[in-house]
Structure 1
Amino acid sequence: MFEVHVLSNQLKRVACALLIVVHMLPAAARDLIGRVSVVDGDTLDIHDDRIRLWGIDAPESAQLCRGRDRKPYRCGALAANTLDAFTRGKAVRCTPVDDDRYGRIVARCAVRRTDLGQMLVSRGLAIEEPQYSHGRYAADQLAARRAGRGIWAGRFVEPSFYRACIHGQGRVAQCSGIPPMRR
């Protein structure tokens, strides 16, 4: 009986030690779970952590795109609002993949079993970044493009070109219409 009690205490100590070690790991080493605040179409906050969605790039919040009717609309705001509506009041699980140069955690995030990056790309609200995603969302992007969903319904500037233009002191409307438009 004494041996069982000693073994039980040893197991408790080991379990406590493991629990302490897990909580000492950096956030990038463990899943982040919670309700989110949407920063923009590809960035979220969970608790005090800023998370960039892995493998995609959404239009910037102020960015304009042209719809099927050729009229400009706030495609970046649409991406952010859609992400907010999809995640509102739900637990989001983010599995860190890397950190980016801005100190954000780059992660694959999901609500239940729905991958948020895939949801945005399949709705035409973000583009795949194949250099990071390794083609994970290629079929979803192709389907959105062929169906003319979201940004694929009209014309848009890739978000990276838009950001470069804005950082070069361009204006929103000007930067939303240059360089070569994707169709």
Structure 2
Amino acid sequence: MVAGVAGGLLGVAAILFALPADLFGRVPPVTGTLTAAPHQVAVVDGETLVIHETVIRLQGIVAPARGQTCHDANGAGTDCGAASAAALARLVRGHEVACRLNGRDREGFARGLCEAAGTELNRALVAAGWARARGDTADFADAEAQARNARLGLWRSGAF
């Protein structure tokens, strides 16, 4: 009986160790700089990159999700999430990308400030109107206001 209980406990322990580390909120903090050659960078959407299998959310910005429809002044719809992702892809294409990681977001993904070819990607996306400044930070509010006033990117229709 004792051997059966001990074996059962070992089985449970083995299962727990096999589960992802973030399942119970035990993900270690992420800091430091992650750098990648152009062929090691993938754009997921307008605010997310994958570098060396690490998912990185661009800190301080919000971009529309792929498939999200935005309407222009004439009412015509377009996939504004795809447009935002394409803008990020243009910024990173052919360039080494470096991200200064600053912890994790609410979903457990790494978050960071990233740059390519001397351009800070987070600010550039907001300044060009392809993303908004995240409401919980004032880091890019000035860039968003300028893009909105100039009707750049997704602000062309006046609403994003």
TM-score (norm 2): 0.75
- Of 7, 28, 31 in structure 1, the residue corresponding to residue 30 of structure 2 is 28
| Partner Cα distance (1:112, 1:130) in 2 | 27
| Partner Cα distance (2:52, 2:104) in 1 | 17
| Partner Cα distance (1:104, 1:149) in 2 | 29
- Of 122, 128, 134 in structure 2, the residue corresponding to residue 123 of structure 1 is 128
| Partner Cα distance (2:117, 2:93) in 1 | 13
Determine if contact 1:50/1:104 at 8 Å carries over to the other structure.
yes
5+ long unaligned stretches in structure 2: 1-27
Amino acid of the residue matched to residue 149 of structure 1? L
The secondary structure found in structure 2 opposite 1:31 is: strand
TM-score (norm 1): 0.66
Determine if contact 2:97/2:114 at 8 Å carries over to the other structure.
yes
- Of 19, 27, 49 in structure 1, the residue corresponding to residue 54 of structure 2 is 49
- Partner of residue 153, structure 1: 156
Determine if contact 1:65/1:155 at 8 Å carries over to the other structure.
no
- Partner of residue 160, structure 1: none
Structure 1 segments of 4 or more deviating over 6 A?
Answer: none
| Partner Cα distance (1:97, 1:130) in 2 | 18
The structure with more helix, counted as a fraction of residues: 1
CA RMSD of aligned residues (A): 1.7
Alpha-carbon distance, 1:62 to partner: 0.5
- Partner of residue 88, structure 1: 93
Q: State the aligned residue count.
A: 130
Provide Cα deviations, 1:61-115, integer angstroms capped at 9, x if missing partner: 1011112333111111001011112101211110011202322101000113211
Of all paired residues, the percent bearing the same amino acid is 35
- Partner of residue 62, structure 1: 67
5+ long unaligned stretches in structure 1: 1-25, 158-183
| Partner Cα distance (2:159, 2:146) in 1 | 17
The structure with more strand, counted as a fraction of residues: 2
